[in-house]
Amino acid sequence: MNGINKIKSELNNTTTCCYCGVGCGIVVNKDDHNRITVEGDKNHPVNKGMLCSKGLNLHHTVNDQSDRLLYPEMRYNKNMPRQRVSWDVALERTAAVFKTFIDKYGADSVAFYASGQCLTEEYYVVNKLIKGFIGSNNIDTNSRLCMSSAVVGYKISLGEDSVPVSYDDLELCDVIFVAGANPAWCHPILWRRVEAAREINPDLKIIVSDPRKTQTCSLANVHLQLNPGTDITLHHAIGRCLIEEGKIDFDFINDSTNGFSKYRETVFERTVEEAANICGVSENDIRLTALYIGNAKGFITMWTMGLNQSVVGTNKNLSLINLNLITGQIGKPGAGPFSLTGQPNAMGGREVGGLSNLLPAHRDLTNETHRNEVEKFWQIPLGTIQPKPGLTATEMFDALNEGKLKAIWILCTNPLTSLPDVRVAEAGLKKAKFVVVQDISNKVETLPYADVVLPAASWTEKEGTMTNAGRYIAYLNKIVDAPGEALPDAEIICRFANKMGYPGFDFKNFGEIYAEHAGLTEGTNIDISGLSYEILKEKRAVQWPYKKAESLKQEAESGKQYHGTPRLFTDHKFFTPDKKANIQSFSDENNSEALTPEHPLILTTGRIRDQWHTMSKTGKVNKLNQHISEAFLEINPVDAAKRKIKDNDIIEVVNNRGNVRVKAKFSDDIKPGVVFLPMHWGKILNSDLNRANNLTNNLVDPKSKEPDFKFSAVQVSLYKKAKQKIIVVGAGAGACGFVKSYRTLNTEDDIEVFSKEDFPFYNRVLLPDYISGVLPWHNLIKMSDDEEADHRIKLHRGVSIEKIDKENKSVTDSNGITHFYDVLLLATGSRAFMLKDIPSLKGIFTMRSRTDADNFKNHVNPANGKVIIVGGGLLGIELAASLTEVGVKVTIIQRISRLMDRQLDPLGSQLLHEELTAKGIEIFYNDEIDRFLGEKNISAVRLKSGLHIDCQALVIAIGTVPNTEVVKAAGIDCKRGVIVDEYLRTTEKDIFAIGEIAEFKGFLYGITAAAEQQAEIVARFLCGDISKYYSGSLLMNILKMHGTDLCSLGLAEIPNNDPTYEEIIFLDRAKRYYKKCIVHNDKLVGAILIGDKSEFLEYRNLIENKLELSEKRLQLLRSGKTAEPVIGKLVCSCNNVGVGNLINKIKEGCKDHLQLCQLTGAGMGCGSCRPEVKAILDSQVNVIKKEDGVLVT
pLDDT in tens, 475-525: 999 999 999 999 999 999 999 999 999 999 999 999 999 999 999 999 999
Q: Where are the beta strands (DSSP E) in 35-106?
A: 36-40, 73-74, 83-84
What does the pLDDT read at residue 1184?
64
Determine the Cα–Cα distance for residues 839 and 948; give it in Å rounded to an integer. Answer: 17
Over residues 1036-1087, the pLDDT tens digits come to 999 988 889 999 999 999 999 999 999 999 999 999 999 999 999 999 999 9
Does residue 331 carry a pLDDT above 80? yes
Determine the Cα–Cα distance for residues 69 and 443; give it in Å rounded to an integer. Answer: 9
Over residues 624-658, the pLDDT tens digits come to 998 899 999 999 999 999 999 999 999 999 999 99
Which positions ≥6 away from 466 have C-beta within 8 Å?
Answer: 16, 18, 23, 119, 120, 344, 345, 348, 473, 474, 476
What's the CATH fold of domain 4-63?
A: Phosphorylase Kinase; domain 1 (3.30.200)
For residues 393 and 145, the answer to whether their CB atoms sit within 8 Å is: yes
Determine the Cα–Cα distance for residues 989 and 1021; give it in Å rounded to an integer. Answer: 12
What's the CATH fold of domain 601-718?
A: Barwin-like endoglucanases (2.40.40)
Lowest mean pLDDT among 5-9, 197-201, 761-765: 5-9
Over residues 772-792, the pLDDT tens digits come to 999 999 999 999 889 989 999
What does the pLDDT read at residue 627?
86
pTM here is: 0.90
What does the pLDDT read at residue 5?
40
Which positions ≥6 away from 1053 have C-beta within 8 Å?
Answer: 905, 1078, 1086
List Cα–Cα distances, 611 to 185, 446, 459, 619, in angstroms. 10, 20, 17, 7
* Helix residue ranges per DSSP H, 382-468: 393-402, 415-418, 422-431
Across the range 353-367, mean pLDDT stands at 96
For residues 68 and 442, the answer to whether their CB atoms sit within 8 Å is: yes
Determine the Cα–Cα distance for residues 482 and 70; give it in Å rounded to an integer. Answer: 9
For 657-716, the DSSP string reads S-EEEEEEEE-TTB-TTEEEEES----BTTB-TT-GGGT----B-TTT--B-TT-EEEEE
Determine the Cα–Cα distance for residues 907 and 1160; give it in Å rounded to an integer. Answer: 30
For 276-330, the DSSP string reads HHHHTS-HHHHHHHHHHHHT-SSEEEEE-HHHHSSTTHHHHHHHHHHHHHHTT-S
Across the range 965-979, mean pLDDT stands at 97
**Residues 153-162 as b or e (16 or more Cβ within 10 Å = b):** bbbbbbbbbb
For the chain, which residues make up each domain, given as ranges?
4-63, 73-147+346-558, 601-718, 725-832+964-1022, 844-958, 1045-1115, 1130-1187
What's the CATH fold of domain 725-832+964-1022?
A: FAD/NAD(P)-binding domain (3.50.50)
Across the range 882-896, mean pLDDT stands at 95
What does the pLDDT read at residue 813?
98
- Same CATH fold, 844-958 and 725-832+964-1022? yes
How do beta strands 889-894 and 922-925 pair? Answer: parallel
Closest CA to 487 of 459, 454, 513: 454
**CATH numeric code, 73-147+346-558:** 3.40.50.740
Over residues 1015-1033, the pLDDT tens digits come to 999 999 999 999 999 999 9
What does the pLDDT read at residue 1131?
82
Q: Kindly indicate the confidence band of residue 1118, based on its pLDDT and cuts at 50, 70 and 90.
A: confident
Does residue 1192 carry a pLDDT above 70? no
What does the pLDDT read at residue 1123?
62
H or E segment and range at residue 440: none
What does the pLDDT read at residue 465?
98
Q: Kindly indicate the confidence band of residue 12, based on its pLDDT and cuts at 50, 70 and 90.
A: low
Q: Kindly indicate the confidence band of residue 558, based on its pLDDT and cuts at 50, 70 and 90.
A: confident
Q: Kindly indicate the confidence band of residue 11, based on its pLDDT and cuts at 50, 70 and 90.
A: very low
For residues 1032 and 1000, the answer to whether their CB atoms sit within 8 Å is: yes
What's the CATH fold of domain 1130-1187?
A: Arc Repressor Mutant, subunit A (1.10.10)
Q: Kindly indicate the confidence band of residue 938, based on its pLDDT and cuts at 50, 70 and 90.
A: very high
Determine the Cα–Cα distance for residues 757 and 738; give it in Å rounded to an integer. Answer: 18
What does the pLDDT read at residue 634?
98
For 588-630, the DSSP string reads ----SPPP-SSS-EEEEEE--TT--TTSTTGGG-HHHHTTS-S
Over residues 70-129, the pLDDT tens digits come to 999 999 999 999 999 999 999 999 999 999 999 999 999 999 999 999 999 999 999 999
Determine the Cα–Cα distance for residues 629 and 633; give it in Å rounded to an integer. Answer: 13
Q: Where are the beta strands (DSSP E) in 422-485?
A: 434-439, 452-455, 464-467, 472-476
Q: At what angle do helices 1008-1022 and 733-745 cross, to 10 degrees?
A: 30
What does the pLDDT read at residue 1163?
77
Does residue 1 carry a pLDDT above 80? no
As a whole number, the mean pLDDT across the chain is 94
List Cα–Cα distances, 1008 to 108, 737, 832, 1042, 1044, in angstroms. 61, 10, 16, 20, 21
How many percent of the chain have pLDDT more than 90? Answer: 87
Over residues 140-150, the pLDDT tens digits come to 999 999 999 99
Across the range 804-809, mean pLDDT stands at 97
Instruction: Give, in words, the CATH class of 1045-1115.
Output: alpha beta
Q: May I ask the CATH architecture of the domain 844-958?
A: 3-Layer(bba) Sandwich (3.50)
What does the pLDDT read at residue 1161?
83
Does residue 458 carry a pLDDT above 80? yes
Q: Kindly indicate the confidence band of residue 1167, based on its pLDDT and cuts at 50, 70 and 90.
A: low
Across the range 533-556, mean pLDDT stands at 88
Across the range 571-583, mean pLDDT stands at 98
What does the pLDDT read at residue 10?
39
DSSP percent split of the chain into helix, strand, coil, nearest 5: 35, 20, 45
